[in-house]
Amino acid sequence: MSSRAALLSLEQARRQLLASIAPLTDTEMVSLASALDRVAAADIVASIPVPPWDNAAMESFFARLKVESIYAEPPRNKSEAYSGVFEYIEMFYNTVRRHSANGQKSPNAYEQEYYARCA
């Protein structure tokens, strides 16, 4: 089969497919237009640039994790790395280390104070 014949058969298949599709009713058209509007609005919102300082807390956390844990004692294997990160977060970062965003309290102390205020 030549490439021209293949293109013609593809075009015929496309026409048959389009002919077999039922036209949309007015209600379906409105629903489709509404859905397309929502998708377009979501794309616009997703394309709005996010200020760089929104990620500052996480960047600070990972910087402190590297300096205070990983660089201090480099892990020899993956399981040692996992346990080192867990120990850093659960035994130091959340319980001992003070945070300026929490009024110089540890996350656990801040959480306890918060729940005491809510009770």
Question: What pLDDT sits at residue 100?
Answer: 79
Question: What pLDDT sits at residue 30?
Answer: 61
Question: What pLDDT sits at residue 116?
Answer: 92
* Reduced 3-state DSSP string for the chain: CCHHHHHHHHHHHHHHHHHHCCCCCHHHHHHHHHHHHHHHHHHHHHHCCCCHHHHHHHHHHHHHHHHHHHCCCCCCCHHHHHHHHHHHHHHHHCCCCCEHHHCCECHHHHHHHHHHHHC
Question: What pLDDT sits at residue 56?
Answer: 77
Per-block mean pLDDT, blocks of 10 residues, the chain (119 long): 65 69 64 62 59 74 88 88 90 85 86 89
